[in-house]
């Protein structure tokens, strides 16, 4: 199938590569034009364009336009696409990390104007190109059907790692909770390793322990693999600060727990511990950053900027 990808950052560019590899034709646009031009040189199935008008002109109705832009730019990007000539029946997909309430609003507003909308919670980070992406899709059944071939190509396999989870907003809601859980799991690993690293009289080897746990342990996971990889390079994690940033989804998850009166003490405290990391140096903060850098390619503040 043919679709457009707008936003060629860490995830967007690799999603284009994975789609092109499975013989989809991709019209690629990025605010920095050279990024799209360079990407198009990699595969004949990728076509670089330098304007939203060109995006529209190079797609046939019903057009499918996938956005991978920061959540604060989604509305302005959508309006610019509409002004460029979007037609009734065309589909806009928000695959970034938007608040699910905004996705619910966008579908209502766009459908009132004759357009289609779908939200896709997208997980996989910088490893998605190789391993596939976990896709949590929200929208009407017939809307999702339009883009199903691309979803199957982006997922780890055609039959696993993706699903239509509910109406518009559901994809971003499920991804929001996914990220809240991620916070809690990462915090648990970080605290456990700090307990061991700080234990006097035992001289515990963090690298060895992380590698032991990778096999047969009930806590084995991709996050643990990222810790082990980082510690093999530098067990002290001396190149990392312990300043841990947080994304919108973690905060939105806690807001949802309050709105729904559903207790989420572990997830809440994990977010609070990220706030704490900005006040003092800890080994647990460095462990958290080792995982964030490993799975998402997130930028990490160097020690000198603490």
Which domains does the chain show, CATH number per domain?
2-167 (3.40.50.720), 175-305 (1.10.1040.10)
Residues annotated as catalytic are 175, 182
Quick one: pLDDT band at residue 257, thresholds 50, 70, 90?
very high
pTM value is: 0.88
Place of tokens 């234990």: 199
Over the stretch 175-195, which tens digit does the pLDDT of each residue have? 999 999 999 999 999 999 999
Instruction: Indicate the pairing of strand 25-29 with strand 2-6.
Output: parallel
C-beta pairs of 290-293 under 8 Å, 24+ apart in sequence: 290/226, 290/227, 290/230, 290/231, 290/237, 290/240, 291/186, 291/189, 291/223, 291/226, 291/227, 291/230, 292/186, 292/244, 292/245, 293/230, 293/240
pLDDT greater at residue 306 or residue 69: 69
Could you tell me if 131 and 156 are in contact, meaning their C-beta atoms sit under 8 angstroms apart?
Answer: yes
Over the stretch 114-141, which tens digit does the pLDDT of each residue have? 999 999 999 998 889 999 999 999 999 9
Over the stretch 205-252, which tens digit does the pLDDT of each residue have? 999 999 999 999 999 999 999 999 999 999 999 988 888 888 788 899
Tokens of 97: 């990390």
What is the pLDDT, as a whole number, of residue 15? Answer: 97
Quick one: pLDDT band at residue 68, thresholds 50, 70, 90?
very high
Residue 306 has pLDDT above 50, yes or no: no
Which residues are registered as beta bridge partners of 163? 136
What whole-number distance in Å separates Cα of residue 13 and Cα of residue 36?
Answer: 8
What is the pLDDT, as a whole number, of residue 273? Answer: 87
């Amino acid at each position: 199938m043919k679709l457009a990808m707008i936003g060629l950052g860490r995830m967007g560019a690799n999603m284009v590569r994975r789609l092109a590899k499975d013989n989809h034709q991709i019209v690629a646009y990025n605010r920095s034009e050279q990024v799209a031009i360079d990407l198009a040189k990699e595969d004949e199935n990728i076509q670089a364009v330098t304007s939203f008008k060109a995006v529209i002109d190079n797609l046939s109705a019903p057009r499918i336009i996938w956005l991978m832009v920061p959540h604060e730019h989604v509305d302005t990007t959508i309006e610019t696409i509409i002004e460029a000539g979007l037609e009734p029946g065309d589909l806009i997909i928000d695959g970034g990390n938007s608040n699910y309430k905004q996705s619910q609003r966008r579908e209502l507003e766009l459908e009132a104007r004759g357009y289609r909308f779908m939200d896709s919670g997208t997980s996989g980070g910088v490893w998605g190109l190789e391993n596939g992406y976990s896709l949590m899709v929200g929208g009407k059944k017939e809307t999702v059907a339009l883009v199903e071939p691309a979803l199957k190509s982006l997922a780890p396999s055609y039959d696993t790692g993706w699903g239509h989870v509910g109406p518009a907003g559901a994809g971003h809601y499920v991804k929001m909770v996914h990220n809240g859980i991620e916070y809690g799991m990462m915090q648990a690993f970080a605290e456990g390793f700090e307990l061991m690293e700080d234990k006097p009289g035992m001289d515990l080897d963090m690298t060895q322990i992380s590698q032991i746990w990778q096999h047969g342990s009930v806590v084995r996971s991709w996050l643990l693999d990222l810790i082990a990889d980082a510690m093999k390079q530098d067990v002290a994690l001396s190149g990392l600060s312990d300043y841990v940033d947080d994304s919108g989804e973690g905060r939105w998850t806690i807001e949802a727990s309050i709105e729904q009166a559903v207790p989420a003490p572990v997830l809440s405290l994990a977010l609070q511990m990220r706030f704490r990391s900005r006040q003092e140096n800890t080994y647990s903060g460095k462990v958290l950053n080792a995982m964030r850098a490993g799975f998402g390619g997130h930028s990490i503040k160097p020690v000198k900027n603490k």
